[in-house]
Amino acid sequence: MLKHIGKHGDRKVAIIFREIPDETHMALVLYTETMPVAMHDSLIKVIESQPAQQAESLGDVLFRELFNDGRPMLQTLHTEGMLKKVQTKQIIVTPNANSHVHLDELNKILSEMATGKEAIDRMAKLDSEAGMTGKSRPRDDFGREIGAPAETNPAKIAGSDAEIAARVQAPADGALSDDAIAANLLAQSAAMQANAKSLLAESKRMAAEAKALAPKKTAVKKRTTATKARKKTVANESSN
């Protein structure tokens, strides 16, 4: 089953963000069936891709992807008013082929899993209803093993649902504001600059290490050149 896909009533939706900061009862979604065919096909290809299926937030992936005409996906969906806020309790997702759960319940389970055994048991029950044998550890709707240690890497935490959604939070009318998109772009730019600085520092370190390993070879080359020069001088004097 694909992640980031659900239903709002009888309409299919792509779940851009499972929760909106300060409005955790709301999700940001896209009604895929109302999209132009070309845009729809491009979006589905991204959703089916490995990066999207491994990401916790589809919005984070859409920020980096382009439609076939070269336009950035997330920004284009915003400017064309396609992103809407919907109550999480009204969205149904399908963790596996034989079970379904409302998004508000799934969000609650996922938020409790890091500390609560009851939530883990509830998610395991969803998998058992789908015919799981119990021989392998059940996984949540995002492909993660239930009971796995919580993420502690600051770099990964910085790209979590909460932070990314905070940068692109939609106003009451359900569409993303230009300020939110601008904030998202600035945040991504800052992250890229930090990464560039890190790469530059590593490059300098490697260059210094290479220089430290090669001085003897350079010295030998200089001595060899000086010796040849002296021999050439002696030869010239002898011929004279």
Report pLDDT digits (tens) over 28-81. 999 999 999 999 999 999 999 999 999 988 999 999 999 999 999 999 999 999
pLDDT at residue 69, as a whole number: 92
227 and 150 in a single domain? The answer is no
Q: What is the pLDDT of residues 142-184, one digit of tens each?
A: 455 544 444 444 444 344 444 445 444 445 455 556 666 666 6
Does the pLDDT of residue 89 top 90, yes or no? yes
166 and 233 in a single domain? The answer is no
Distance CA 229, CA 235 (A): 10
Distance CA 178, CA 29 (A): 18
User: Where among 130, 148, 176 does a domain terminate?
Assistant: 176
Contact 31, 84 (CB under 8 A): yes
Q: pTM score, two decimals?
A: 0.50
Does the pLDDT of residue 210 top 90, yes or no? no
Write out the two tokens for 54.
């491994």
172 and 199 in a single domain? The answer is no
Among residues of the chain, what percentage have pLDDT more than 90?
A: 35
Does the pLDDT of residue 224 top 80, yes or no? no
Determine, yes or no, domain membership for 185: no
Residues forming beta bridges with residue 102, ordered by sequence position: 92
Which of 48-62, 88-102, 108-122 shows the lowest per-residue confidence on average (mean pLDDT)?
A: 108-122
Determine, yes or no, domain membership for 54: yes
User: Where among 123, 145, 176 does a domain terminate?
Assistant: 176
Determine, yes or no, domain membership for 215: yes
Write out the two tokens for 26.
């709301």
Determine, yes or no, domain membership for 187: no
171 and 199 in a single domain? The answer is no
Contact 101, 92 (CB under 8 A): yes
pLDDT band per the 50, 70, 90 thresholds, residue 13: very high
100 and 172 in a single domain? The answer is yes
Contact 85, 174 (CB under 8 A): yes
pLDDT at residue 238, as a whole number: 54
42 and 76 in a single domain? The answer is yes
pLDDT at residue 214, as a whole number: 63
119 and 203 in a single domain? The answer is no
% helix, strand, coil for the chain, step of 5: 55, 15, 30
144 and 205 in a single domain? The answer is no
Determine, yes or no, domain membership for 143: yes
**Nearest C-alpha neighbor of 63 from the set 99, 71, 208:** 71
pLDDT band per the 50, 70, 90 thresholds, residue 239: low
Determine, yes or no, domain membership for 110: yes
pLDDT band per the 50, 70, 90 thresholds, residue 92: very high
pLDDT at residue 135, as a whole number: 43
Which of 43-57, 100-114, 183-197 shows the lowest per-residue confidence on average (mean pLDDT)?
A: 183-197
In sequence order, what are the residues at sequence separation of 6 or more whose Cβ sits closer than 8 angstroms to the Cβ of residue 55? 61
- For 143, list phi and psi in degrees, rounded to 5: 80, 5
Average pLDDT of the chain?
A: 73
Does the pLDDT of residue 193 top 80, yes or no? no
90 and 204 in a single domain? The answer is no
140 and 203 in a single domain? The answer is no
User: Where among 150, 176, 202 does a domain terminate?
Assistant: 176
pLDDT at residue 156, as a whole number: 43
Residues forming beta bridges with residue 12, ordered by sequence position: 7
The stretch 3-19 carries a mean pLDDT of 94
Determine, yes or no, domain membership for 86: yes
Query: Domain containing 235: what range?
Result: 193-239
Between helices 178-213 and 215-239, what is the axis angle to 10°? 50
Write out the two tokens for 89.
């309790």
pLDDT at residue 103, as a whole number: 92
- For 29, list phi and psi in degrees, rounded to 5: -130, 170
235 and 134 in a single domain? The answer is no
81 and 163 in a single domain? The answer is yes
Determine, yes or no, domain membership for 58: yes
Specify the higher pLDDT residue, 190 or 58.
Answer: 58
Structural domain total, the chain = 2
